[in-house]
A and B are shown apart, each in its own frame.
Chain A
């Protein structure tokens, strides 16, 4: 809990000048703040420190964490492509607890209700605080002032910016991967636990000191496509199961049934039409909320009626968008 000096920013909000020991810059207006200097960089590595046969597998997650030099106060990162179906991160912090590690910072792209057990690890001091999107129980825990550090909420782009600009240094990145090879190339689009893509973990793989790929589908080199590249990976661990893809559909990603929300979605589509946006080659993005999904369905009908084709749609993808592509 910070009792540090507060200052007013450009939108008249009071903000702390220091958070978790890091000096903060107040918001200065859209497009006003332009930092200079260089981006963060990694130490130079040598191939001679890695197996020439490309086999980076180790026998367990515990052994990989040990080889990465897991110790007190480190920052451990992970991605959230499994959303509420992640099976890896609770295991990571259980291992840290067993080894009596303290004061870790967990830096996920997002935490979900499935990560509730990590609250116990905050109570027993293994994890100091969670720095990432806090959906559900961990957010509630933090809202009551129980977390040992201050929550820092960032957008997806802001998380990349923070790592790239050196605001957050990742000691160990854990990348759950539905398919990987022993060299560390990995993809999310195939395998029994396929979760789509691994884009949120990409910055972690590029900037972390140590990178562990955890998979339940090890294929012979090369794993293609390779959204995560083996040249950035230290160790590969094979587990029975890394995630439950059926739990990707969680939280906000359900189509609304409420008549009011459907009406709002329809009005939104009609507005887009009236504004002259639905023309050949246009682009749009609709979020994961139930109303946004309904909007996409109304829009699709309008596009059909008008014989209009979009150039691109930005996902989060759902079956409704896939129908429009196929």
Chain B
């Protein structure tokens, strides 16, 4: 069903076996796949990419490194690099442990909203207003397409408003680099 798998890492032992046995299962490196300071890379050639996020906001900015409690518990992986695909989709639950995932402002900004095209939750699909083409083509699809603000308001209503923000100090314990080496956000020490 596909000619090739261009692989950056194998996530299970079937992946390992396939890479050894299949000519079409190719080992790649972050240079060819993701490096911003090269003469192009594979990431922008993808027709669709599906990724996770710990939080998103109504401007489609997303977080993938800190939790809503402010703790830095994940790496970025290839996530930022993948945002350059032709259609970047974040399927995420509207809540995690009764904490809403769509927030006013993400705790840590790891991916700029202009690169995130679609957010899919169990309460509906939100398309980034910048992607007029996607809005148009899916208009009569019968899918539950809604404004992100509307989904957020519904969730906030259900739990009685946004929960209190995590208590963070102003001590910087980490920074988040953008793909070009510049600093896109800071990560703060949590209160003990």
Task: Tell me the A residues contacting B by CB distance below 8 Å.
Answer: 1-3, 6, 9, 11, 13-16, 19, 24-28, 30, 33-35, 81, 110, 132-136, 139-140, 142-145, 147, 150-162, 164-165, 167, 188-190, 194-200, 202-203, 225, 227, 245-246, 248-249, 252-253, 260-261, 263-265, 267-268, 270-272, 274-277, 282-289, 291-292, 295-296, 300, 303-304, 308-319, 321-322, 324-326
Contacts and interface: CB of A to CB of B under 8 A. Distances in A.
Contact of B172 (A1, A303, A325): A1
Contact of B35 (A150, A161, A284, A324): A161
B164 interface: no
Contacts of A1: 171-173, 189
A133 B173 CA distance: 14
A155 B81 contact: yes
Interface of B: 1-20, 22, 24-25, 27-31, 33-37, 41-43, 45-52, 61, 65, 70-82, 85, 87, 89, 91-93, 109, 112, 114-115, 118, 120-122, 125, 134, 137-138, 141, 143-144, 169, 171-187, 189-190, 192
Contacts of B93: 260-261, 264
- A contacts with B: majority SS: mixed
A142 to B, nearest CB: 5
B10 A24 contact: no
Contacts, number: 411
Contacts of A270: 141, 143
Contact of B14 (A15, A158, A271, A319): A319
B189 A153 contact: no
Nearest to B22: A325
Given A16-B172, A16-B175, A26-B182, A143 B80 contact: no
Given A157-B41, A158-B179, A264-B92, A321 B13 contact: no
A225 B21 CA distance: 12
A143 B70 contact: yes
B175 A315 contact: no
B182 A9 contact: yes
Given A135-B74, A153-B175, A267 B125 contact: yes
Given A153-B76, A155-B177, A317-B5, A272 B48 contact: yes
A155 B83 CA distance: 11
Given A152-B174, A152-B177, A285-B46, A157 B27 contact: no
